[in-house]
């Protein structure tokens, strides 16, 4: 896959894309393109294009460009090939946007830096620190900081992007530090654990950084800015681009849309899609038929069971309902009842004893006196 993000600073980016894609199709640079119908309330235009590389490898790409917000139109481009991506293949951005020296589409959303040109660092130290920190957090582009050991002439002003393999040219942001800016640059980058050698360059790790990124492996000790090809720096950028990196914010949604919402189909692809739809509908119909048969069988069994129950109920003699058994008392209730029985038993015995004493006293009082007999 190939991913890039940028900003179009000119007006009517959608018109620029329509004209460019039509020219590319007429020249047979691409096989076909499609602009998806704009839905109500949409905030972006969507373009799809298809072409072939290496003879027979098909590449599908989808570009979304936001509506004009006054400060430009951000775009995201996701492309996927039928074979592992080769950086020597054409840049997908070059197969959507016009390749003109005064093009305004090749800017980054962060700080409006150029993707195909040199970006000198600001003269203000605070602005340098802010710019490099923002660039270090950018996961879409590859950022390279090059330090000029001395003021260069016109030969030294050749952009690095034009020397890279085509597939990397629109993913690179080249920062140039003046001879006097080495200290402030390294001070701004110290939190990232990277340093720019004097007269050299370094590839920033991005955010999130690849797990196997080593700052020393991507630092170049010397870069001769005399118009010759900086082979060591090109090799470092190519190796960094080949590292496995986490997807930046928004990339997963772009890839999902490319894979699942693709509309630009060939005749063979349309026939294959229709066959798959027919097979899917046939499976759904078969499942519904099986479900209906199972439901009918279950209903018949239920009716048979109900009829058998009614017959057995009519044949059986009518029986009086049994009185439901009282629920078993809890241990606490049993203990309470035992105490009540003990209290009643004790009270009964006491009352019986008191009643016996009273009767005995009454009997003594009513005993007849014997005449002539006195008590001593």
* Angle of the 182-189 helix axis to the 125-136 helix axis, nearest 10: 40
Residues 240 and 265 in one domain: no
Residue 21 belongs to domain with CATH number: 3.30.310
In tens digits, the chain (376 residues) has pLDDT values of: 999 999 999 889 999 999 999 999 999 999 999 999 988 888 899 999 999 999 899 999 999 999 987 778 999 999 999 999 999 999 999 999 999 888 899 999 888 899 999 999 999 999 999 999 999 888 899 999 999 999 888 889 999 999 999 999 999 999 999 999 999 999 999 988 899 999 999 999 988 788 889 989 999 999 999 889 999 999 999 999 999 888 988 999 999 999 999 999 988 777 776 677 777 778 787 788 878 878 887 888 888 888 887 777 776 665 555 555 555 555 556 656 665 665 666 566 566 555 655 555 554 455 555 444 444 3
68 and 150 assigned to the same domain: no
| Tokens, residue 339 | 């105490």
Flag whether 340 is in a domain. Answer: no
Residues 189 and 133 in one domain: yes
In a domain, 313, yes or no: no
Residue 147 included in any domain:
yes
- Asked whether residue 304 is assigned to any structural domain, the reply reads no
DSSP state of 152: -
Say if 321 falls within a structural domain. Answer: no
Peptide bond into 255 cis (omega under 30): no
Would you report the helix, strand and coil content of the chain in percent, each value rounded to 5? 45, 15, 40
Q: Within a domain: residue 161?
A: yes
Name residues whose C-beta falls within 8 Å of residue 332's C-beta, 6 or more positions apart in sequence.
Answer: none
Q: Domain ends where: 283, 304, 338? A: 283
Strand-by-strand arrangement of the 118-120 sheet: 118-120, 172-177, 142-147, 201-203, 219-220
Domain assignment of residue 63, yes or no: yes
What are the backbone dihedrals phi and psi of residue 71, each rounded to the nearest 5 degrees, phi first? -110, 15
- What is the C-alpha separation between 149 and 222, in angstroms, rounded? 9
Tell me: do 176 and 221 sit in the same domain.
yes
Residue 225 neighbours by CB under 8 Å, 6+ apart: 146, 148, 152, 155, 156, 158
* Best CA proximity match to 172, nearest among 162, 182, 181, 186: 162
| Residue 20 covered by a domain | yes
Q: Round to the nearest angstrom and report the end-to-end CA distance of the chain.
A: 138
Say if residue 243 is exposed, middle or buried (CB neighbours under 10 Å; 0-12, 13-18, 19+). middle
216 shares its domain with 112 = yes
Domain shared by 140 and 200, yes or no: yes
Asked which of 258, 283, 308 is the last residue of a domain, the reply is 283
Co-location of 139 and 196 in the same domain: yes
Six-digit token string for 104? 């305004």
Q: What residues does 174 pair with on adjacent strands?
A: 118, 144
Q: Do 158 and 188 fall within a single domain?
A: yes
Range of the domain at 91: 1-105+250-283
CATH code of the domain covering residue 199: 3.40.30
What sign has the CA pseudo-torsion 17, 22, 27, 31?
Answer: positive
Q: Which residue has the tokens 């950022």?
A: 143
Closest residue by Cα to residue 95 from 119, 60, 126: 60
114 and 223 belong to one structural domain: yes
pTM: 0.72
In total, how many domains does the chain have? 2
Can you give the three-state secondary structure of 13-51, one letter per residue?
Answer: HHHHHHHHHHHHHHCCCCCEEEECCCCCCCCEEEEEEEE
Q: Which two tokens stand for residue 103?
A: 């093009």
In whole angstroms, what is the distance from residue 257 CA to residue 265 CA? 15
**Beta strand extents in 124-169 (DSSP E only):** 142-147
Q: What is the DSSP string of 318-345?
A: P-PPPPPPPPPPPHHHHHHHHHHHHHHH
CA dist 225 and 179 (Å) reads 13
């Amino acid at each position: 896959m190939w991913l890039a993000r940028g900003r179009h600073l000119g007006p009517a980016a959608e018109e620029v894309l329509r004209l460019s894609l039509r020219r590319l199709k007429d020249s047979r640079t691409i096989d076909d393109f499609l602009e998806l119908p704009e839905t109500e309330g949409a905030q972006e235009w969507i373009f799809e294009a298809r072409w072939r590389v290496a003879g027979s490898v098909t590449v599908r790409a989808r570009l979304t460009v936001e509506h004009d917000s006054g400060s430009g139109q951000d775009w995201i481009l996701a492309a996927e090939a039928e074979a592992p991506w080769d950086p020597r293949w054409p840049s997908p951005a070059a197969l959507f946007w016009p390749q003109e020296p005064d093009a305004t589409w090749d800017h980054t959303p962060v700080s409006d830096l150029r993707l195909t040109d040199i970006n000198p660092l600001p003269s203000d130290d605070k602005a340098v620190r802010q710019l490099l920190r923002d660039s270090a957090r950018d996961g879409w582009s590859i950022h390279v900081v090059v330090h000029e050991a001395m003021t260069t002439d016109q030969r030294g002003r050749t952009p690095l992007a034009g020397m890279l393999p085509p597939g990397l040219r629109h993913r690179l942001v080249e920062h140039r530090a003046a001879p006097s800016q080495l200290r402030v640059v390294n001070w701004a980058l110290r939190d990232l654990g990277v340093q720019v050698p004097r007269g050299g360059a370094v590839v920033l790790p991005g955010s999130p950084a690849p797990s196997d990124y080593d700052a020393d492996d991507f630092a170049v000790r010397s870069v001769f800015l005399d118009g010759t090809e900086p082979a060591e720096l090109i090799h470092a950028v190519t190796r960094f681009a080949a590292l496995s990196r986490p997807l930046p914010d928004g990339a997963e949604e772009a890839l999902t849309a490319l894979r699942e919402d693709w509309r630009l189909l060939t005749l063979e692809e349309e026939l294959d899609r229709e066959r798959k739809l027919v097979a899917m509908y046939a499976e759904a119909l078969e499942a519904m038929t099986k479900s209906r048969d199972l439901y009918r069988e279950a209903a018949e069994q239920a009716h048979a069971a109900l009829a058998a129950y009614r017959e057995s109920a009519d044949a059986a003699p009518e029986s009086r309902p049994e009185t439901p058994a009282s629920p078993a008392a809890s241990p606490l209730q049993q203990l309470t009842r035992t105490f009540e029985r003990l209290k009643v038993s004790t009270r009964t015995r006491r009352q019986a004893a008191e009643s016996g004493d009273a009767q005995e006293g009454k009997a003594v009082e009513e005993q007849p006196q014997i005449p002539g007999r006195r008590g001593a």
